[in-house]
Amino acid sequence: MTIVGIMLATGVFLGMASISMDVGRILVEKRELQNSADAAAVSLARDCWLTPANCKATEATAVGLTNRNASDGTSTIQSVCSVNIAGSPVNGCPVSTATFADCAPLPPAFGAMSGLPYVEVRTRTRTTSGGSSFSNWLAGAAFGGPSTSSAGACARAAVGTPASGIATLPITFSACDWQRATLGTTGGGGGLYYASPVYNGANPYGYTGAGQPSWPLPAVPAPGFLPGNEVILLSQNPPGGATPAGTCPNWNGHALPGGFGVLETNGGDPCSIKEYPFHWMKTDPGNNTSCDLSAYVGKVVNLPIFDCTHTSAPGAEPPIGNCDTGNGSNAFYHRVGYAQFYLSGYSMNVTGGIPNKVKSLVSNSFPCNGANRCLSGWFLKGSLSATALSGPPTAGNFGTIAAVPAG
């Protein structure tokens, strides 16, 4: 009793309560603000890069993300800045002070990527009454300390070429196929892209309804093409041995002889690609796939793009010498990236009672017939889920980017 009396008289219990309650509340607030900043930074970096003209308007979306991460439903974005992102609210961010409420210095791996775009978001306490601080329950009353506290956080997200990703369909097309369809440059830069679907409108397919873009022009018969509009991607040599114009390799460098671009999948998931070290993918003999392609018509899919074929899986990235060996029943494709593609129709051999053909949503006709195998649709700009970047989004990205936390 004597010890307890002394502790009460000297305020030890009150001090312990102050630490556990007031400091604990600050830490909770800090965690919520950090979650808010993280979500807002990734969202702003991705959206501002893809649609610079809407970057300022995108801040409203970011504010909504910060509010949803707060237990009381409200917080505030104190400031937004960016580097190398056109159309962003502020171009140029202050040097990090490395303090508790500031962004950490740019990680060395990102700092080595010259021209890497990124966004920084700083959040601050905001209460439902509109104030920028919250009450200290005990510290001020018991010890004459401050009666209120405030917290802040900072997050940075960088935009670049995805170093990883997930394919949607186990079917691959060559970088030359992408280049012809978009008029992009060798290696995946540039390109013409159609407007992305808007799925919250009247048409469930994302086009022609209120607030949605219109359908593109229907594709012309392969191997012809309409750059930036609907195209037909043949997964084997085109009819009559026709060859495309331009500097791309012949069609045997696109689809292997006897092959249809169908890839080996992971066991149990007919749409998940099995990858070997250094991004090599193995052909699946024959022209059949078990992936339900009909479930993806009217949706955006991630197509793996290859730049090299080989009879075995080399233990390294290209260049490896000969990059056009192998055939449809024995070869490996090297995945150089992913391209986002709106699947409007297809004609492929699909097992398990799944339709082998689905008419194009644009032309209402099958995209190819007879022995031909193909997908129809158009290429889009978009973002992939990734954990790492391989460089700035200016080269070799086939229109896809990723936004990842960067300190």
In a shared domain, residues 225 and 301:
yes
User: What six digits make up the tokens of 190?
Assistant: 């540039």
Residue 249 pLDDT exceeds 50: yes
3 state SS for the chain: CHHHHHHHHCCHHHHHHHHHHHHHHHHHHHHHHHHHHHHHHHHHHHHHHHCHHHHHHHHHHHHHHHHHCCCCCCCEEEEEEEECCCCCCCECCCCCCCCCCCCCCCCHHHHCCCCCCEEEEEEECCCCCCCCCEECCCHHHHHCCCCEECCEEEEEEEEEEECCCCCCCCECEEHHHHHHHHCCCCCCCCCCCCCCCCCCCCCCCCCCCCCCCCCCCCCCCCCCCCCCCCEEEECCCCHHHCCCCCCCCCHHHCCCCCCCCEECECCCCCCCECEEHHHEEEECCCCEECCCHHHHCCCEEEEEEEEEEECCCCCCCCCCCCCECCECCECEEEEEEEEEEEEEEEECEECCCCCCEECCCCCCCCCCCCCCCEEEEEEECEECCCCCEEECCCCCCCCEEEEEECC
Domain-embedded: residue 34: yes
Q: Is 45 exposed, middle or buried (0-12, 13-18, 19+ CB in 10 A)?
A: buried
Domain-embedded: residue 25: yes
Name the one residue in this structure whose structure tokens are 């031909």.
372
Domain-embedded: residue 241: yes
Tell me the C-alpha distance between 210 and 166, whole Å. Answer: 31
Tell me the C-alpha distance between 134 and 147, whole Å. Answer: 8
Residue 316 pLDDT exceeds 70: yes
Helices 55-68 and 24-50: crossing angle in degrees, nearest 10, is 150
Residue 103 pLDDT exceeds 90: no
Residue 5 pLDDT exceeds 80: no
> What is the model's pTM?
0.77
User: What six digits make up the tokens of 117?
Assistant: 């775009």
Contact 343, 296 (CB under 8 A): yes
Domain-embedded: residue 204: yes
Contact 159, 405 (CB under 8 A): no
- With vertex at residue 237, the alpha carbon angle to CA 375 and CA 381, rounded to the nearest 5 degrees, is 35
Domain that holds residue 103: 13-161
Question: If you average pLDDT over each of 5-19, 136-150, 246-260, 271-285, which comes out highest?
Answer: 271-285
What is the mean pLDDT of the segment spanning 189-196?
90
Question: What local confidence, expressed as pLDDT, does residue 58 receive?
Answer: 58
More confident residue, 74 or 235: 235
Question: What local confidence, expressed as pLDDT, does residue 135 receive?
Answer: 56
Contact 388, 164 (CB under 8 A): yes
Least confident of 45-49, 145-149, 157-161, 336-340: 145-149
Band of pLDDT at residue 280, cut at 50, 70 and 90: very high
Proportion of the chain above pLDDT 70, given as a percent: 72
Tell me the C-alpha distance between 349 and 369, whole Å. Answer: 12
In a shared domain, residues 269 and 150:
no
Domain-embedded: residue 5: no
Contact 343, 375 (CB under 8 A): yes
Band of pLDDT at residue 99, cut at 50, 70 and 90: low
In a shared domain, residues 370 and 233:
yes
User: What six digits make up the tokens of 232?
Assistant: 């037909």
Contact 229, 362 (CB under 8 A): no
Q: Total domain count for the chain? A: 2
Domain-embedded: residue 391: no
Question: What local confidence, expressed as pLDDT, does residue 298 receive?
Answer: 96
In a shared domain, residues 154 and 235:
no
Question: What local confidence, expressed as pLDDT, does residue 346 receive?
Answer: 97
What is the mean pLDDT of the segment spanning 383-407?
82
Least confident of 14-28, 84-98, 274-288, 383-397: 14-28
Band of pLDDT at residue 245, cut at 50, 70 and 90: very low
In a shared domain, residues 150 and 222:
no
Residue 264 pLDDT exceeds 80: yes
Proportion of the chain above pLDDT 90, given as a percent: 26
Band of pLDDT at residue 144, cut at 50, 70 and 90: low
What is the mean pLDDT of the segment spanning 59-81?
59
Smallest CA-to-CA distance from 401 within 104, 164, 120 is with 164
Question: What local confidence, expressed as pLDDT, does residue 202 receive?
Answer: 85
In a shared domain, residues 145 and 291:
no
In a shared domain, residues 119 and 255:
no
Domain-embedded: residue 81: yes
Question: If you average pLDDT over each of 22-36, 39-53, 177-191, which comes out highest?
Answer: 177-191
Band of pLDDT at residue 251, cut at 50, 70 and 90: very low
Provide the terminal-to-terminal Cα distance of the chain, rounded to the nearest Å. 51
**Cβ neighbours of residue 394 closer than 8 Å, sequence gap 6 or more:** 115, 189
Smallest CA-to-CA distance from 223 within 236, 204, 207, 205 is with 236
Name the one residue in this structure whose structure tokens are 């080989």.
310
In a shared domain, residues 231 and 360:
yes
What is the mean pLDDT of the segment spanning 364-372?
90
In a shared domain, residues 220 and 342:
yes
Residue 69 pLDDT exceeds 60: no
Tell me the C-alpha distance between 383 and 230, whole Å. Answer: 20
In a shared domain, residues 350 and 222:
yes
In a shared domain, residues 97 and 185:
no
Question: What local confidence, expressed as pLDDT, does residue 252 receive?
Answer: 46
Band of pLDDT at residue 129, cut at 50, 70 and 90: low
Residue 247 pLDDT exceeds 90: no
Residue 218 pLDDT exceeds 90: yes
Q: Domain boundary at 139, 161, 183, which? A: 161
User: What six digits make up the tokens of 124?
Assistant: 């601050």
More confident residue, 256 or 337: 337
Least confident of 246-250, 268-272, 371-375: 246-250
Tell me the C-alpha distance between 183 and 308, whole Å. Answer: 20
In a shared domain, residues 141 and 221:
no
Domain-embedded: residue 55: yes
What is the mean pLDDT of the segment spanning 84-106?
68
More confident residue, 50 or 401: 401
Average pLDDT score over the chain: 78
What is the mean pLDDT of the segment spanning 157-177?
86
Question: What local confidence, expressed as pLDDT, does residue 134 receive?
Answer: 55
Tell me the C-alpha distance between 303 and 375, whole Å. Answer: 11
